[in-house]
Structure 1
Amino acid sequence: MTIHQSVLAGTAVFPRLHADSHIRSAHALVTRDIALKILKGVFPPDSTLPHETDLIDGYGVSRTALRESIKTLTAKGFLVSKTKVGTRVLHPSHWNMYDPQVLAWRVELGVDHEFLVKIYEVRQALEPAAAALAAVRRTRADIERMQKALEGMSAGRHSRESYAEPDLNFHQQVLVASGNPFMQSFSSVIEAAILCSFRISAPVDSQERLRMSLERHRMVLDAIAAHDPVTASSAMTQVIREGIENAHCKLATEPVTITMPLQIHG
């Protein structure tokens, strides 16, 4: 047993699976708990997980369930297993943060300004480019889907949650219209960003902000419809910038931590 193993085996708390657990399976329970321990640093990068027997006893699950969990987390970039060495935690650079489940686990730990800024940076790197490509490649059906999403954003009185759905759909349709499958796979990151930021601050909190949000999204749609990639890119940049600025203002005046899990889809 390595130094890391001996320390972790003595300090980590393993939730056991109960008959009335809301977790649907032993595999799901163990996978989620090990992932959260890695994300929180209980199992830090380059450490070795406790011995298989200790994990089986700690969680109260079968060897098969544990190995399935290790296999799942290995596929997501959290772990690597080597014969006679054990299962080692990989550096965060290996973690697949685009994986919807990984994003949901990260959000479950709580969301702060730093987390939102990191997502904002990735969105600003990709979404304006997707909007520009959409302006070049879009079809009539793409425009109709974006128009429908925008109409959903404009319809009636919205709660934060009900407004988030058509807003998210609009951004997803822009990715689809880009015609680039790599950009389309970015959808889960956008979903996490919108759901998280809306839990903190949403356009529906202010009539002026709602009007501005609708206007900004309309500019994106009009530019894409007009085959104007430069304006489409610029308008999308502004949409994303205003979203993070509103969330930042809310966090600066009233610190907010989101601790509830979000259902982020693949």
Structure 2
Amino acid sequence: MTGPRGRPKTGARSAHRVVTEGIGLGILKGEFKSGELLPSPEELALRYKVSRTVQREAFKTLAAKGLVASKTKVGTWVTPPRSWNMFDTELLEWRTRLGMDQEFIASLFEVRRALEPEAAALAAKRRTQEQLRELREIARAMSECRDSGRFIELDLAFHVLISDASANPFLQSLGGLIEAALAAAFARSTPLHDPVQLRLSALQHEAICQAIEAGDPEAARQAMIAVIDTGAVNARRSLEAAQAAS
């Protein structure tokens, strides 16, 4: 039997995933604090019921994400947040699962504003006819969509497709890396219960599509900025409303 992407679904791999995710979430939650050593192998063995071999493999995975560092005769400790690879797909998924606060959402939209307008500008020059056709279809579906979950799916697909159409390998990778965070952000920033704002969002995405179709990089850039800025405002208002209601 195989797991995702055809990987063997073994007990060892499952145990590795449990330990990696458990420690990773613990770091993000502050259970394991920056600069502190992780629990001893004996403590981790009791907590996760795994061998030292599995622990070592988990530490290697966490080190690749920038979450921990190790030294012989010292142990494994939690690195400062500035060392964490926030573009790592799994790390982002853990972070969004814990919930997004105002600071995290603001940081996410800052990154989007720095990169996605340029992706749109490049897409206006480099998109293929097939990509343009698909972009038109998504934009049309968004204008006709009344289902909140489906709208979020279309919104995400639209932005990932533009990253792909940029034909820039870094921007293409970015689309996949931040997919989990974008999905969570869209869940807050899409005005799902306001038909007027929903229509505005669809029209703004249509403007991006038209600029890309016209081969106008600057228009595509400005249209993308408008979408991101509107999303940032909606996300902030949604979070403030949720906090007021709690």
TM-score (norm 2): 0.88
Corresponding residue of 1:200: 188
Corresponding residue of 2:236: 248
Corresponding residue of 2:35: 46
Deviation at 1:191, TM superposition (A): 2.7
Corresponding residue of 2:175: 187
Structure 2, unaligned stretches of length 5 or more?
1-12
Deviation at 1:194, TM superposition (A): 3.6
Amino-acid identity (%): 46
Task: Report which of the two has the higher share of helix.
Answer: 2
Q: State yes or no: 1:82 paired with 2:82.
A: no
User: SS of 1:145's equivalent?
Assistant: helix
Deviation at 1:184, TM superposition (A): 1.1
Corresponding residue of 2:20: 31
Structure 1 segments, 4+ long, off by >4 Å, are: none
Q: CA RMSD in A?
A: 1.9
Aligned residues: 233
> How far does the alpha carbon of each residue in 1:108-146 deviate from its partner, in whole angstroms, 9 at most, with x for none?
222122111110000000000111111111221121121
Corresponding residue of 1:227: 215
User: SS of 1:38's equivalent?
Assistant: helix
1:129-208 equivalences under 5 Å are 129-159=118-148, 161-188=149-176, 190-208=178-196
> How far does the alpha carbon of each residue in 1:73-120 deviate from its partner, in whole angstroms, 9 at most, with x for none?
111111111111111211112211111110111112221221111100
Structure 1, unaligned stretches of length 5 or more?
1-23, 258-266
TM-score (norm 1): 0.82
Corresponding residue of 1:64: 53
Deviation at 1:48, TM superposition (A): 1.4
Distance 2:181 2:77 in 1: 30
User: SS of 1:25's equivalent?
Assistant: helix
Deviation at 1:221, TM superposition (A): 0.9
User: SS of 2:69's equivalent?
Assistant: strand
Could you tell me whether the CA contact under 8 Å between 2:124 and 2:216 is conserved in 1?
A: yes
